[in-house]
Chains A and B, each alone.
Chain A
Amino acid sequence: MKRIEDHPVLDFDRGEKVVFYFEGRPIEGYTNETIAAALHAAGIKVLGYSARKHRPRGFFCAIGKCSSCLMVVDGRPNVRTCMEFVRPGIHVRRQHGLESIVQEESDE
């Protein structure tokens, strides 16, 4: 997808342009964007896979109410990426079902 450059009503204060990582790959984002918005702008819609049937998951509500956008951010699972903002250098990856916090930490 893409960022809107020319809007008849709105001006966007995107903040600072920074680099963060998605599945190890560098992605450009802005500090006033949520992780989910920045990934969407980079064409990434699949944010994780469901627990039982491993169905792809993207965001749905974008206001922190549905848990469809949970990802692993800097080793911590279950982060609502529609509410969490982009920070330089963070590592984001797709979440597979319910991941364990303990396991993640010992993995790091």
Chain B
Amino acid sequence: MSERYELAVVGGGPAGLSAALMASKFGVKTVLVDENRKLGGQLVKQTHKFFGSYEHMAGVRGIAIGRKLSEEVMNDPNITVMLSTTAIGYYEDGTLALYQREPEEKLIDIKPQTVIFATGARENMLAFPGNDLPGVYGAGAVQTLMNVYGVLPGERVLMIGSGNIGLIVTYQLLQAGSSVEAIVEILPRIGGYIVHASKVRRYGVPILTRHTIIEAIGDEKVEGAVIAQVDERFRPIPGTERELDVDVICLAVGLAPIINLTWQAGVEIAYIPELGGHVPWHDEDMRTNVPNVFVAGDLAGIEEATTAMIEGELAALSAVEFLGKASPSELVAKREDAHSRLEDLRLTVFSEKVKAGIEKLKNWRANLTERAGKLPPKG
């Protein structure tokens, strides 16, 4: 075991970065670990100008926001950054096991006093024949390939899903030089912002609502796709099938929180579809049922980078409180400020779902307690 850190932050996306920065304001000795060679999480792939209204950040490219936060963290004397390092386990005695791949391969055990998990989300799969063929890629994977490594994912792409991610990644594919044959959307209307939809339409990409994918064609890899129209009950309408000549099928059908480590830590897992499925239980200040474990960002419920950053601040404030590093009045002021910014961000119609999810999460534990008689805190 090496040094004793007061706080370990797992995940260097917007949530983890702002958590570390907030903790540092209270002099908390922090270690931030991320699997990648660079900090920033999803932000390193986001070449588009941001939506959302987080102070002056709407209109700024995601990569620029990521770069700014990363620089601040790298230059902060209270924060030790460990890159190319995966947190692989969190044990009963409070040991966080880390596997470092570079510069030298090694296993490291640390025993931080508190942990903030900000591990983000992973892409959802969709059930259809051939969905396991090489060439069926998650939207995040397509973004990583083209925006981080500069490799073209495919020549001709079929996009599944017309939410903001599907629309933005379509536009990014066009910028990178791929052709997008169509965007299919099973619902009767486009899921994302109209500005994003208009942008891809101007490039001639058809957005087919009430359509779905039937199967992927190919033996060793994707060589085509069959799509069809669906009826009101989302059943394919016979006779409407159409074959598209594509080499990539890109899935943008939602994300699910990466909960493994929080589960292992003894955090209660709730099932809240509005937040992305299984999510670690937490209160509005990002505390879990394990007193020294906190969560933030997409892990706590799929939302946005802007809200992830504020949740990171809140998680840090709760860790600071646990560590006894702030006066109650200081905490109250900072929390009130963060909550009011969160509320402002959640005023749009797109936030209705998330707000409903958060409401369910509040009641989830109460209902469970009622059912089980009593729910002892774990950890």
Chain A residues with CB under 8 Å of chain B are 1-4, 6-10, 12, 14, 32-34, 37-38, 40-41, 45-47, 50, 55-66, 82-85
Contacts and interface: CB of A to CB of B under 8 A. Distances in A.
Contacts of A7: 150, 175-176
Contacts of A14: 149-150
13 contacts: A4-B152, A7-B150, A10-B47, A12-B149, A45-B134, A46-B134, A46-B220, A56-B220, A58-B135, A59-B137, A60-B136, A61-B123, A62-B137
A4 B177 CA distance: 8
A41 B151 contact: yes
A60 B124 CA distance: 10
Given A34-B149, A57-B134, A62-B144, 9 more contacts: A3-B152, A10-B63, A14-B149, A33-B149, A33-B151, A61-B138, A61-B140, A62-B145, A66-B122
A47 B134 contact: yes
B141 A59 contact: yes
Contacts, number: 106
B101 interface: yes
Interface in B142-156: 144-147, 149-155
Report, as a range, how many residues of chain B touch the other chain. 35 or more
Nearest to A59: B141
Contacts of B145: 37, 40, 62
B140 A63 contact: yes
Contacts of B123: 60-61
A22 to B, nearest CB: 14
Contacts of B102: 85
A37 B154 CA distance: 12
